[in-house]
């Protein structure tokens, strides 16, 4: 289960500052993995607001059900995440495991079970034994510290080859606030959403409904626009916590997502989520290249997104990128199969800055050598102009390599 | 471009009898391949009816456009098929190539251009030089013979590792008629339809509108239920020709698809198309196992088909099958992402005769050894019971192997 670090890993990892009102602890619970952490606990001060976005799978995991039922309360005191087992499709025993974990977590954090949030990632269909780690929660709550974000990102990894961290600051009414985020991804990554767990926290005092609206808005062009293999997980969970600790430094509480004082915060949150989402794509199982597909001139943004995803998910496009082959014919195929309006004879296709096709034919000035040079890069921009309207969208994916097959052909063994 | 023959190739190939009223010729035109045939001509006697079903791609190839415009006439005298170049996304030059080919074919067959049908398969986006083969058509028309079906199937192959042929007989009002069919597939295979060309002929005297209705009906559970990689080609073409020569042996002409005398013919046609479609799936690029996914108990047949395709197209399911891993958790994931109604806690999943999950949990009596034994077979039946309604569908796919990536990462080079 140990794979070489993705060649697309960041050259350097951001160091995440502490977020006041929040403490972190991790442990080696031995749920599945040996000699690594697989348990994360985040503790939040009283008054912390929570927002969340989850998988649209019709077969969600037990922790997703659990979080959904607690979310309307809008308050969080503790988050418990385990890797190695997704607690998905585990039926009654799955619900028993979330209940047992929540009870132990509530006791450790001194809060109600309705203020507990849970996430699990790993194998589907195997019962999760909460007894492996529930007894650890009390000790972890006692030993938790403020600046352990990197350790948190490491504890939630599965087949990820690097931890995913990001941090931003934004000014609200003259006061700087911090937003930190971590994520895990790897396989089963597709919009709405991914085997993707991400946890974001800020010290900004933003009320839960406003936080939910901000998160929902920011997730569309980021986590909901990233795909590794078109497979949507049962477990996708993005939770955001606002401790409100910046209020002590004069930051005004904000109750409305549309509040003009949140402009910079909204931008920073969008950038942070996109950063994390792209890190997920760049660590797609077996990925050696990131594919950035932009569709312009579509009938609508939604049509542009559907076509862009059709391209980014196409096995034939993905294998062509893996083979460094500027095979734009496969891009045409993927445009055609998306089912959205397209006029073959108006299409133009660019790989990077090289226009390879125009007006429905190979560009007469197209240089195969120039296109091949683009294909040798680590990041492959594919841009399609449909010439129909003003719809535009960008999605982020990765190539399909023999390593993807090797990783997933041998996952459980 | 030469790959070892699929382990799923038929143990023996059917020998196809002659169809009266139809002659076949093939040639080495050197369009792309060397030392193999790449041009097929079929000539039909006057009065031959034609029906067709084509790709639903929004970016169809020039030959698809050409066939669509001729189909309403209902009459065919000559079919010209080339492999090596799909004549797709070739703009004005693509239309010029079909026009030039049609003109030469009409002259060779002594018919109108409206009675010509064309198909091309191979690379997309490269102009097709009709001059490479148009001059050969007259000679081929002169030398064509009746019993060259195997040669016809070989001439239309691209990355196929074996030719696909099938034959059936059916009785219409006491007279035996024959149906022969050939197909090519390999990659870019997904419903509606596939990089899939198939040509079917019969001596039955069935009028064009009835033939079209029969074909449309038979294609849904066969070619429209097969997937290799979820990628839909620009070029998919299924044409069926009825020479009517059996009328000379007393077979009555039939004008209505619903005519009770066609019952056996309808069954035989359905079996023949399914046979060819499964041969296509079993020769999917890099395929080592066929996956037969049946979804039962869905809200509707359409919902069952959508869920079955979600399973058969899932890279994670396909790689698990390649790895002989009975990873039913990924089947749950694929059910969940399909977007159709599903109740996690009623799901049951079978691999072959082994029930691995029931009532939303691992089957307590499930034997991993028994499931693993199923996974070692060449044909992997996956059956999902949703427990919601009477909807049912079966789709046919194949596993995803490193060879698929190798073949498609290096197609053009």
Model pLDDT, residue B115:
97
A403 pLDDT band, cuts 50/70/90, is confident
Q: Predicted confidence band at B345 (pLDDT cuts at 50, 70, 90)?
A: confident
Three state DSSP letters for chain A: CCCCCCCCCCCCCCCCCCCCCEEEEEECCCCCCCCCCCEEEEEECCCCEEEEEECCCCCCCHHHHHHHHHHHHCECCEEEEEEEECCCCCHHHHHHHHHHHHHHHHHHHCCCHHHEEEEEEEECCCCCCHHHCHHHHHHHHHHCECCCHHHHHHHCCCCCCCCEEEEEEEEECCEEEEEEEEEECCCCECCCCECCEEEEEECCCECHHHHHHHHHHHHCCCHHHECCCCCCCCCCEEEEEECCHHHHHCCCCECCCCCHHHHHHHHHHHHHHHHHHHHHHHCCCCCCCEEEEEEEEECCHHHHHHHHHHHHHCHHHHHHHHCCCCCHHHHHHHHHHCCCCCCHHHCEEEECCEEEEECCEECCCCCHHHHHHHHCCCEEEEEEECCCCCEEEEEEEECCCHHHHHHHCCCCC
Q: Residue A413: pLDDT band by 50, 70, 90 thresholds?
A: very low
Active-site residue, A178 included: no
CATH of domain A290-408: 3.10.20.340
**Partner-chain residue, chosen from B60, B90, B332, that has the shortest CB–CB distance to A59:** B332
Of the pLDDT bands very low, low, confident and very high (cuts 50, 70, 90), residue B413 is: very low
Interface contact A325-B411, CB threshold 8 A: yes
Residue-wise pLDDT tens digits, A244-274? 999 999 999 999 999 999 999 999 999 999 9
> Percent helix, strand, coil in chain B (nearest 5)?
35, 25, 40
Residues A145-189: pLDDT tens digits? 998 999 999 999 987 888 999 999 999 999 999 999 998 876 554
Q: How many CB pairs under 8 A join A and B?
A: 222
pLDDT, averaged across chain B = 89
Please indicate if any CB of chain B lies within 8 Å of the CB of A209: no
pLDDT range class, residue A282, cuts 50, 70, 90: confident
Nearest-by-CA chain B residue for A330: B124
> Is-contact A185 A284, C-beta < 8 A?
yes
Instruction: Give tens-digit pLDDT for A128-151.
Output: 999 999 999 999 999 999 989 999
Interface of A with B in 137-166 (CB under 8 A): none
Per-residue pLDDT, averaged over B135-147, amounts to: 95
pLDDT of residue B187: 58
- Residue B178 and residue B202 in contact, taking contact as beta carbons nearer than 8 Å: yes
Does pLDDT of B126 surpass 90?
no
pLDDT in tens, A85-127: 989 888 889 999 999 999 999 999 999 999 999 999 888 888 8
The answer to whether the CB atoms of B232 and A333 lie below 8 A apart is yes
Region B223-251 average pLDDT = 82
**pLDDT value of residue B194:** 37
pLDDT of residue B257: 93
- At residue B411, the pLDDT reads 45
The rounded distance, in Å, linking the Cα atoms of B174 and B20 is: 18
Residue B186 has pLDDT above 70, yes or no: no
The answer on whether B158 is annotated among ligand-binding residues is yes
In chain A, what residues touch B409 (CB-CB under 8 Å)? Answer: 319-320, 322-323, 325, 401
The pLDDT value given to residue A110:
97
Please say whether the dihedral angle defined by the alpha carbons of residues A39, A45, A47 and A49, taken in this order, is positive or negative.
negative
What DSSP element (H or E) covers B336?
helix B328-337
SS3 B59: coil
Distance from CA of A266 to the nearest CA of B (A): 30
At B50, give phi and psi (nearest 5°): -135, 145
The pLDDT > 70 percentage for chain A reads: 94
Query: Do residue B413 and residue A325 have CB atoms under 8 angstroms apart?
Result: yes
Common-topology check for domains B22-282 and B290-408: no
CATH of span B22-282:
3.60.70.12
Q: Where are the domains of chain A?
A: 22-282, 290-408
Q: What mean pLDDT comes out for the span B3-9?
A: 78
Question: Which one of A57, A312, A341 would you mutate to disrupt binding with B, by most B Cβ within 10 Å of its Cβ?
Answer: A57
Give B246-251's long-range contacts (Cβ < 8 A, gap of 24+): B246/B20, B246/B172, B246/B175, B246/B176, B246/B177, B246/B202, B246/B203, B246/B204, B246/B205, B247/B205, B248/B20, B249/B175, B250/B174, B250/B175, B251/B172, B251/B173, B251/B175, B251/B177, B251/B203, B251/B204, B251/B205
Mean pLDDT of A52-64: 85
**Candidates B92, B313, B333; nearest CB to A233:** B333
Q: What is the pLDDT of residue B1?
A: 43
* A184 annotated as ligand-binding: yes
Q: Is the pLDDT of residue B95 over 90?
A: yes
pLDDT attached to residue A189: 47
- Identify all chain B residues contacting A413, using CB atoms and an 8 Å cutoff: 323, 325
**Which of B264 and B413 is assigned the larger pLDDT?**
B264
Mean pLDDT in residue range B47-67: 89
Percent with pLDDT over 90 in chain B: 60
State the smallest CA–CA distance between residue A320 and chain B in angstroms. Answer: 5
Q: Is the pLDDT score of A233 beyond 80?
A: no
C-beta atoms of A361 and B230 within 8 A: no
Mean pLDDT for the stretch of residues B91-100: 93
Q: What backbone torsions phi and psi does residue A204 show, to the nearest 5 degrees?
A: -65, 140
Task: Tell which wins on pLDDT, A412 or B290.
Answer: B290
- CA–CA distance from B373 to each of A196, B202, B378 (Å)? 32, 42, 11
The answer to whether B372 faces chain A, any CB pair under 8 Å, is: no
**With an 8 Å Cβ cutoff, is B345 touching chain A?**
yes
Cβ-nearest to A357 among B125, B314, B325: B125
pLDDT digits (tens, 9 = 90+) for B259-287: 999 999 999 999 999 998 888 888 877 88
What are B193-208's pLDDT values in tens digits? 335 788 888 999 999 9
**Residue A194 pLDDT more than 60?**
no
Residue with the larger pLDDT of the pair B327 and B264:
B264
pLDDT higher than 70, residue A212: yes
* Whole-number pLDDT of residue A196: 76
pLDDT at residue number A238: 86
* pLDDT computed for residue B189 by the predictor: 46
Q: What mean pLDDT is reported for chain A?
A: 89
Does an H or E element contain B150, and which? helix B149-155
3-class DSSP string for A252-278: CCECCCCCHHHHHHHHHHHHHHHHHHH
Q: How confident is the model at residue B192 (pLDDT cuts 50, 70, 90)?
A: very low
More confident residue, B285 or A275: A275
Encoded tokens for B396 = 């046919």
Among B60, B230, B401, whose Cβ lies nearest the Cβ of A405?
A: B401
**Which of B26, B37, B48, B195 does the annotation list as catalytic?**
B195
């Amino acid at each position: 289960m140990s794979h070489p670090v993705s060649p697309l890993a960041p050259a350097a990892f951001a160091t995440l500052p502490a977020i006041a009102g929040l403490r972190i602890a991790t442990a080696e619970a031995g749920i599945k993995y040996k000699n690594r952490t697989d348990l994360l606990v985040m503790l939040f001060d009283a008054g912390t607001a929570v927002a969340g976005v989850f998988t649209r799978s019709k077969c969600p995991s037990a922790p997703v059900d659990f979080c959904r039922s607690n979310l309307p309360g809008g308050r969080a005191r503790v988050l418990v995440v385990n890797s190695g087992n997704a607690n998905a499709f585990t039926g009654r025993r799955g619900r028993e495991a979330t209940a047992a974990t929540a009870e132990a977590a509530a006791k450790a954090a001194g809060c109600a079970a309705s203020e507990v949030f849970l996430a699990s990632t790993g194998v589907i269909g195997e019962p999760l034994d909460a007894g492996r780690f529930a007894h650890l929660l009390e000790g972890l709550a006692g030993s938790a510290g403020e600046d352990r974000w990197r350790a948190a990102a490491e504890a939630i990894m599965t087949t990820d080859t690097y931890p995913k961290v990001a941090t931003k600051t934004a000014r609200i009414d003259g006061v700087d606030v911090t937003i930190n985020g971590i994520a895990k991804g790897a396989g089963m990554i597709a919009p709405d959403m991914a085997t993707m767990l991400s946890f974001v926290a800020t010290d900004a005092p933003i009320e839960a409904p406003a936080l939910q609206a901000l998160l929902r808005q920011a997730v569309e062009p980021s986590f909901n626009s990233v795909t590794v293999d078109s497979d949507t997980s049962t477990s996708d969970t993005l939770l955001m916590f606002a401790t409100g600790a910046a209020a002590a430094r004069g930051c005004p509480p904000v109750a409305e997502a549309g509040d003009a004082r949140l402009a910079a915060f909204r931008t920073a949150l969008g950038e942070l989520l996109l950063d994390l989402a792209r890190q997920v794509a760049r660590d797609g199982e077996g990925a050696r290249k990131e594919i950035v597909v932009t569709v312009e001139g579509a009938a609508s943004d939604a049509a542009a997104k559907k076509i862009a995803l059709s391209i980014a998910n196409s096995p034939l496009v993905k294998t062509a990128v893996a083979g460094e082959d500027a095979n734009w014919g496969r891009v045409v195929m993927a445009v055609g199969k998306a089912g959205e309006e397209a006029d073959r004879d108006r299409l133009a296709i660019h790989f990077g800055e090289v226009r390879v096709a125009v007006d429905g034919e190979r560009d007469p000035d197209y240089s195969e050598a120039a296109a091949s040079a683009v294909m040798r890069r680590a990041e492959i921009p594919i841009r399609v102009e449909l010439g129909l309207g003003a719809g535009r969208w960008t999605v982020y994916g990765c190539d399909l390599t023999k390593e993807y097959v090797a990783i997933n052909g041998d996952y459980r063994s």
